[in-house]
Chain A
Amino acid sequence: MDFALTDEQQDLQAAAARLLADRYPADRVAGLADAGAGDPDAWPHLRRQGWCDAELGMVEKGLLALEGGHALAPTAWWSTVGLAHPVYRAAGAEVPSGPLTLAWQDDPADGSDRARGGCRAVRHRDGWRLTGVRALVTDATAAVAVVVAAETGDGVALFTVPAPADGLTVEPQPTLDRLRGAARLTFADTPGDLLVAPDTAGRVLADARRHGSTLLACEAVGVARRALELARRHAGDRVQFGRPIGAYQAVAHRLADSYVTLELATSLALRACWLVGAATGPATDAPGAAEVEQAHAEATVAGRQAAVRACEDALQVTGGLGATWEYPLHWWYRRALWLDCFDTPTTTHLATLAGHLLAARPSPTGPTA
């Protein structure tokens, strides 16, 4: 076993970190967030550095996601590569070269009224047309095409809809994390091309969501790392009672515990990436579905814990400064809160794990049961 990054992986991560540090210093991130906008010019830079390459391995993508969280890079990379690319690739379709996203969630405003919510696709002589609503769609305003899950009558299928398009309304909604906004997409007889038919669409959609959220576990690690860095710097600089506050155990030990949570999450996020990558690889001893599902749940739970905790510890350590709008920490905290609740809830991940762990009574190996 060799659970260490290769030299190539380290180089890739360092180059990504340099690009992002260059383009997105904290004040620029704060400025873009204030305006509620992403970086409109990000795409060529990311493409040039290979962020969208088809041959990127899962661990490599995880490292990019980690650096993206660290910089809070205001780009649509995660929605594109994390969510949309796996669908186009599974469909064997050509992958559009611009920013993309995936729309599969119902509008929470519709509550349990499934008749009102959702999105339907109807086949006409000249192709498919979509009608209905998809909500909480990430990075939709930047997307050149949207992958849409829609009910066909034979089950849910996946379609691609170019943006902008006739009959497609993209309506951004105010969000806690302004750098990963949500949009409500309304379809009114909108033409779309079938990507994945109902027989496999359920699996492809689940795989894409798992692919995306494994990367989010890495992004969470990056968010935690940045929050800890901000807190560390402040604890070394800020002097009270004649000493830097980091020289007080109450402060130092809080940050040490934050570091513990960060390292646990780092290990589980990288492991989940490796397993997701290995599960789709050619090896005969590829990990099984249950192992991948559990690793994904473990990484997500640990990543969320680390990101929220590191931000909250940093908010405490940065004191009054951290409570201001000007100090940028709250933008990372907002991302941590987004990560903590986006898609599958933590309670569901824990239930998944408990299901595996408590399915049967383990047989004793030792002397006492």
Chain B
Amino acid sequence: MADHSISRRTLLKGTAAAGALSLTGLPAHAEVNWKKYAGTKLEVILAKGPRGDNLQKNIKEFTDLTGIQVESEQIPEQQQRQKCVIELTSGKPSFDVVHLSYHVQKRQFEKAGWLTDITPFMKDPTLTAPDLVESDFSAAGLQYCKNDKGQILSLPWSVDYFILYYNKELFQKKGVAVPKTFDEMVAAAEKLTDTKEGTYGFVGRGLRNANMTLWTNFFLNYGGEFLDAKGNILTDGPEAVEATKLYQTLLTKVAPPGVVGFNWMESMASFTQGRSAMWIDGVGWAPPLEDPAASRVVGKVGYTVVPAGPKGQYSATYGDGLGIAAASKNKEAAYLLCQWAVSKKQGARLLQAGGGVPFRNSILNDPEVQAGVKMPKEWLQSVIDSAKISKLGLPVVIPVAEFRDLVGAAVTSTLTGGDPATELKKAHEQYRPILERSEKA
């Protein structure tokens, strides 16, 4: 902790001084024997993205600190998920540390027993720095990293809240206030839509599967819960129908044509071109929106929490973590690496670059860390506010991909004329047996 202010400045100066930093960091954690596993070689498999970049860029600091050699590779998300599952199934994965997407893989990994229980490591003062305590992680993080027995199977790395991006210039031009509720959002979007000029009030994911991450924001704020106490899926209930109606209204009446095929990339393109006034998506898109080379709306973007629904205000939350393969022979060394990856220093770097949001409150709420954030202050505020209303954005089940595909397709089909209640019912008739089968096996 004492080294923290030093790390801040070091960061701003660049990574050149990083080696010296780890030396100054050492005395503060004298209890942890960082060098105990010197000479070990670790393999890490990462999903491509800013988290992986941040780890790879600074990995030399970890090697200097521990003497552990790290080989890591980044693979595009979809392929990385497949590769991990196939290798873990084989029982002899080529990696020690695995980067997992909680919202897709949590239940699958738990049920298959692929991850090491790190609860004992966290209680061992020779392995865990005093500042890494369970209570420092946000509620969503703890929900994600613990199994139903309360064992910690991974360290929460980065969280993704959904927020509302809006185009201040278009809002001003039409004299519209920033919406606080869904009703206000629909009204605002209608005013902001000007088909003659080719500008639209709202844009968001319409593509099957991808669209579920947006839809669940509506579902949660209409008071929806994914599963009942017995594990039955509830996403075709009245809350889901209302949420789908809102989704249908927004994406058919006030969104650009073709939105039915939009993923985040197409949505972002429409928003950065100034064609759409509002966009609800993950918090991680601020860097491209504020990049003059890629965006026409630099400095004009407003950031705020997702508007409230009739039954509450939540931010649908997703996240990823780092786990240790149960088959790994270097579990302690791997644990040191995970710990370093979620450390204050690394977390601060991630947040300040806008590449992700640490699950640890001590990082997010540290004024010094906040001061170094390169994104607009409003963005940071929306992150902090979202953290307070965070709720898991997908059901914690094994067949998440099937859920996203089937229910996502139902939701998408309402954009081309399908009736919300009928489509949802049809999708759940297909989904329920799949869910039951997955839990029985």
Whether both chains belong to one complex is answered with: no
B interface residues with partner A (beta carbon < 8 Å)? none
